[in-house]
Amino acid sequence: MADLPTNEMTGLVSATEAAVQVGKILHNWVRGLLIHVGRWYECEHIIHRRRGRNLTLLFIGAAADAEIAAYTFQFLCRELNRLLEKALPPLKREHRNWSPAALRYAYLDGAVKRIGERFREHTQKMRTEERDGCKELILVKEQMIRNYMAKAFPRIRMEYGRSRLVNAGAFEKGYSDAGSLSLRPGIGREDSEQFAVTA
């Protein structure tokens, strides 16, 4: 099937924002997860800070991409915290000289590193096929996002994570546990029951 002309595609695709509220502190693992999920769904991301308020993380992309990216980000945060609650008690016993907070963040850093690798593994082949089959659409989406970002956020400041020492055992445990984590959120039981009632 031939691509649509570029001028027709620009009228069919538009950029939007999907927001996720987080706490007042942006930890390295949250920043990493934001970057990985944004790339997976072909979205840009913005960390919106307001003095004295919680941070807002924005995914910017085609409407469906941005919404699914925000949902996936929230899903993965819940899943990572669920895994962490199981892993933390043994880690505290094994590494008594490390604070629970340090073990927690090392575990989450390791898990997010593995999630990022898994996203890259899954997308490498898919992105090549997309670029070959839908080159015009991909270029239109990229330009649309750049235009939206330039208009909505004319002054963007780059932000970098800080390096720190982490517990290798907790990092490796998080890395290992994230290897079996589902990266694609499905509709949960409660969601499907609600969907069946409203359908």
Give the single-character DSSP code of 52. T
Position 157 confidence tier, pLDDT thresholds 50, 70, 90: confident
User: pTM value?
Assistant: 0.82
pLDDT digits (tens, 9 = 90+) for 169-196: 999 999 999 999 988 776 554 444 433 3
* Cα–Cα separations (whole angstroms), residue 161 to 71, 88, 93, 144, 173: 23, 24, 29, 28, 22
Residue 6 phi, psi dihedral angles, 5° rounding: -55, -40
Cβ neighbour number for residue 58 with a 10 Å cutoff: 22
DSSP state for residue 65 in the 8-state scheme: H
User: Residue 118: what pLDDT?
Assistant: 93
Question: How close are the terminal C-alpha atoms of the chain, in Å?
Answer: 34
What pLDDT, in 10s, does the model give residues 10-66?
556 788 999 999 988 889 999 999 999 999 999 999 998 887 788 999 999 998 899
**Strand, coil or helix: 13:** coil
